[in-house]
């Protein structure tokens, strides 16, 4: 059986490659459109406010980092951590372009935060908590870093059934790779899609006043072609699954993915349902 450390290394490699970082950056506008209100809600639930010191776990390219930095203002500070150095480099560049001097980035494995206890006024994690192995260890590190009475809010993806734009491509790629269940394991994109499961992660870590909100949305894109590019940019797991396939096999997988998503391509735009969850708990 593959160890959790090996899974973490693969996750870091999947999202930490230059190709993944570039794809994530290319999809920034589309991602911001769908996630803007959800990110605001996550920051609201975490209680991010002026002057706060905020921990952003597995921050990626840092769109939510910048929004948090704007909220806390020059008297506040954001520490953005991630295992993928290339992703954090993009976040640091974006903060510099925005003139935000209150953002610090630090390459850290979420399982080994080792931060000063009770030193943060809020913690957030956007589209990351479901991907980390040894999640209890991650949650313990976040809990320890928070001041008493402060909150951790996380935005995660719903169940596979609720997210066809992600689940269909992942399932097809997994089947072509000879590992049909691989995209649906824990850790994985859908691992915390059940509100009960997400709530339990918080409770088990000692958080109180735990709530989980469901946020169903419509993923709207101009066309099926744009949706396909979005899948390529946002799901580096697919090339990872197909890395041992031949060119012909990869082409067949992508053709099947396009055909499966065609059902959401309407006359004027591509529209697919998607559900997110936002969990929050208080130390």
**Per-residue pLDDT reduced to its tens digit, 70-113:** 999 999 999 999 999 988 999 999 999 999 999 999 999 999 99
Look at the alpha carbons of 125, 117, 200, 131 in this order and tell me if their dihedral is positive or negative. Answer: positive
Model confidence at 12: pLDDT above 60:
no
Look at the alpha carbons of 105, 111, 116, 120 in this order and tell me if their dihedral is positive or negative. Answer: positive
Model confidence at 195: pLDDT above 50:
yes
In the chain, the number of structural domains is 1
Structural domain includes residue 50: yes
How far is Cα 83 from Cα 81, in angstroms, rounded to an integer? 7
- What is the rounded (10 degree) CA torsion for 215, 20, 23, 252? -90
Structural domain includes residue 227: no
Q: Out of 33-42, 168-177, 270-279, which region has the weakest mean confidence (pLDDT)?
A: 33-42
Q: What pLDDT does residue 100 have?
A: 97
Three-state SS string over the chain comes to CCCHHHHHHHHHHHHHCHHHHHHHHHCHHHHHHHHHHHHHHHHHHHCCCCCCEEEECCCCCCHHHHHHHHHHCCCCEEEEEECCHHHHHHHHHHHHHCCCCCEEEEECCHHHCCCCCCCEEEEEEECCHHHCCCHHHHHHHHHHHEEEEEEEEEEEECCHHHCHHHHHHHHHHHHHCCCCCHHHCCCCCCCCCCHHHHHHHHHHCCCEEEEEEEEEEEEEECCHHHHHHHHHHHCCHHHHHCCCCCHHHHHHHHHHHHHHHHHHECCCCEEEEEEEEEEEEEC
pLDDT band at 11 (very low <50, low <70, confident <90, very high): very low
What number is the average pLDDT over the span 152-180? 97
pLDDT band at 5 (very low <50, low <70, confident <90, very high): very low
On average, the pLDDT of the chain sits at 90
CATH number of the domain that 111 lies in? 3.40.50.150
Q: What pLDDT does residue 184 have?
A: 94
Find the domain containing 66 and state its range. 4-160+181-220+274-282
Q: What pLDDT does residue 237 have?
A: 87
Q: What pLDDT does residue 108 have?
A: 96
Asked if 55 contacts 81 with a C-beta cutoff of 8 angstroms, the reply is: yes
The 10s digit of each residue's pLDDT in 230-255 is 899 888 889 999 999 999 999 999 99
- In DSSP terms, 5 is beta-bridged to none
Structural domain includes residue 260: no
Peptide bond into 140 cis (omega under 30): no
Q: What pLDDT does residue 7 have?
A: 34
Phi, psi of 62 (to 5 degrees): 85, 25
Model confidence at 4: pLDDT above 60:
no
Model confidence at 38: pLDDT above 90:
yes
Indicate the pTM of the whole model: 0.89
Q: What pLDDT does residue 29 have?
A: 65
pLDDT above 90 covers a percentage of the chain that reads: 82
Q: What pLDDT does residue 34 have?
A: 80
Structural domain includes residue 148: yes
What number is the average pLDDT over the span 213-227? 94
Structural domain includes residue 269: no
Q: What pLDDT does residue 8 have?
A: 38
Q: Quick one: how far is CA 133 from the chain centroid?
A: 14
Structural domain includes residue 66: yes
What is the residue whose two structure tokens read 């908590």? 129
Q: Out of 2-16, 53-67, 260-274, which region has the weakest mean confidence (pLDDT)?
A: 2-16
Note the residue count of the chain: 283
Structural domain includes residue 243: no
Structural domain includes residue 166: no
Phi, psi of 276 (to 5 degrees): -120, 160
Model confidence at 13: pLDDT above 60:
no
């Amino acid at each position: 059986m593959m160890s959790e450390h090996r899974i973490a290394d693969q996750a870091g490699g999947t999202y930490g490659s230059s190709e993944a970082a570039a794809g994530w950056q290319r999809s920034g506008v589309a991602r911001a459109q769908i996630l803007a209100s959800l990110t605001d809600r996550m920051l609201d639930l975490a209680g991010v406010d002026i002057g706060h010191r905020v921990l952003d776990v597995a921050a990626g390219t840092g769109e939510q980092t910048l929004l948090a930095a704007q909220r806390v203002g020059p008297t506040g500070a954001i520490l953005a951590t991630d295992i993928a150095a290339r992703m954090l480099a993009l976040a640091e560049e974006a903060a510099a372009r925005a003139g935000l001097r209150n953002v610090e980035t630090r390459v850290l494995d979420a399982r080994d935060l080792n931060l000063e206890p009770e030193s943060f006024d809020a913690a957030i994690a956007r589209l990351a908590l479901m991907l980390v192995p040894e999640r209890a260890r991650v949650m313990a590190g976040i809990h320890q870093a928070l001041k008493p009475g402060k909150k951790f809010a996380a935005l995660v993806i719903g169940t596979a059934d609720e997210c066809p734009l992600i689940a269909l491509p992942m399932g097809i790629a997994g089947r072509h790779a000879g590992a049909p269940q691989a995209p649906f394991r824990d850790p994985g994109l859908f691992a915390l899609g059940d509100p009960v499961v997400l709530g339990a992660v918080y409770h088990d870590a000692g958080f109180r006043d735990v709530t989980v909100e469901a946020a169903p949305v419509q993923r709207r894109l101009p066309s099926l072609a744009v949706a396909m590019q979005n899948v390529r940019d946002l799901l580096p797991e697919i090339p990872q699954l197909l890395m041992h396939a031949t060119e012909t096999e990869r082409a067949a997988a992508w053709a099947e993915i396009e055909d499966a998503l065609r059902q959401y391509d309407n006359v004027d735009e591509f529209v697919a349902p998607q559900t997110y969850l936002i969990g929050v708990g208080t130390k």
